[in-house]
Structure 1
Amino acid sequence: MKLSERLKQKRVEMQLTQDDIAERIHVSRQTISNWENNRTLPDINSLVLISDVYKISLDELIKDRNMIKKLSNDTKQAELWFVNSNLLHTVFCLFILNLSDSIDIRVKVALILIQSLFTVFITLNALPFLKGRQENLKEQYSEPKLVIDEHIVLLIVSIGAGICTTVLTIYGMV
């Protein structure tokens, strides 16, 4: 049985609507519909929440080697994106600081604007990834409020580099 069929079957067995499930796992009703009609697949964090709602193991829920392989690849790609984008952002900040004395003020302002938007973009896109990592880590460490791992440190360094670049460059313009 396909995952989409299992999802729908379990929901119907529990006499829940797509809206009920969507509310419990914090997605839209349309997302649930897409999963049940095999248009898209849930990410690993959503699958964990679904398994909790349906009170079944992840193994029982997915039992599909292709699905397991896809989820594993998706997780690796998300982690690579996270690490690479934060490193790229930090390098960009260092580049701006290095050139800040020798470039025109208009270029400096444009670079700071780009860098600031990049900081916001990375932060907003990193939050779902970090939330999923935190949920997984909480299970390992007797439910602390926050587990500081290398990903959180990397995000803090990246955001810090962005803020420092902005402040130092603006200070240098005055």
Structure 2
Amino acid sequence: MKIGEQLKQNRLKAELTQAEVAEEIFVSARSISNWENGRNMPDIESLIRLAKLFQLSLDELLLEGSDMVEEIKKKEFAVRQTQFLYLGTIITGVLLFIMMFLMPENTESWLQTTIMIAFVTNMAPMIYFDLKIRHLKGKTYDWEKELRRSKLVTLVAFILIIIFIAYLYTL
């Protein structure tokens, strides 16, 4: 039996509405509905509260709801993969940055510009994979937070570009 079906069955057995269950475990009624319909899964804190509310063990909730076990395994895999997210991008960025400043003075400006563009566009795959890993973790994307962060990244990139252009003009 899937976890959503089990939650609904236990809720009906206890003669509770979704709103009442939500109030008892400190989540929204929409969350209860989403869990019961299989749209997403409860977090561990909510599972513990649900187990207490329905007087079940966590084993009963997790083992009978094998979809929950699979969801936890998928999230654990995503967490393990996160450690590799920035490694390649950072190494490539550092190498490109070093190449920019270790070039001989007579290097053509198109080559320097190409390296600078490669340095800046190095961020695109990192952002893409960050979004994918967030999706695997089941997190929604907080656009406001990311906009603030992207403003900072844009400012730093802009400063680096200005420094690079100033460096080119001093040659």
TM-score, reference length from structure 1: 0.50
Between the aligned partners of 2:62 and 2:11, the Cα distance in structure 1 is: 15
Tell me what 1:108 maps to.
Answer: 116
* 2:116 maps to amino acid: K
Residue 44 of structure 2, aligned match among 23, 48, 73 = 48
Q: Given the superposition, is the C-alpha separation of residues 124 and 17 from structure 1 closer, same or farther in structure 2, using an over 3 Å criterion?
A: same
Instruction: Give the superposition deviation at 1:82.
Output: 0.7
Q: Given the superposition, is the C-alpha separation of residues 9 and 19 from structure 1 closer, same or farther in structure 2, using an over 3 Å criterion?
A: same
Measured against aligned partners, the alpha-carbon deviations of 1:2-55 in whole angstroms (never above 9, x if no partner) come to 3122111344437242697399447x92x64443234x452xxx3313223322
CA contact (8 A) 2:3 2:62 kept: yes
The percentage of counterpart residues that share the same residue type is 19
CA contact (8 A) 1:51 1:57 kept: no
In our comparison, the structure showing a higher alpha carbon Rg is: 2
Tell me what 2:22 maps to.
Answer: 21
Residues 1:173 and 2:143 aligned together: no
Instruction: Give the superposition deviation at 1:66.
Output: 3.6
CA contact (8 A) 2:85 2:130 kept: yes
Q: Given the superposition, is the C-alpha separation of residues 16 and 87 from structure 1 closer, same or farther in structure 2, using an over 3 Å criterion?
A: farther
CA contact (8 A) 1:89 1:119 kept: no
Q: Secondary structure at the match of 2:43?
A: helix
* 2:77 maps to amino acid: Q
- Give aligned pairs, total: 135
Q: Which structure 1 segments of 5+ residues have no match?
A: 132-161
Between the aligned partners of 1:61 and 1:100, the Cα distance in structure 2 is: 57
Tell me what 2:142 maps to.
Answer: none
* 1:5 maps to amino acid: E
CA contact (8 A) 1:48 1:58 kept: no
Between the aligned partners of 1:37 and 1:123, the Cα distance in structure 2 is: 25
Between the aligned partners of 2:73 and 2:64, the Cα distance in structure 1 is: 14
Instruction: Give the superposition deviation at 1:104.
Output: 3.7
Instruction: Give the superposition deviation at 1:59.
Output: 1.6
Tell me what 1:99 maps to.
Answer: 99
Between the aligned partners of 2:92 and 2:15, the Cα distance in structure 1 is: 51
Task: Out of 98-107 and 74-83, give the one that drifted further.
Answer: 98-107
Q: Given the superposition, is the C-alpha separation of residues 24 and 173 from structure 1 closer, same or farther in structure 2, using an over 3 Å criterion?
A: farther
Between the aligned partners of 1:166 and 1:70, the Cα distance in structure 2 is: 40
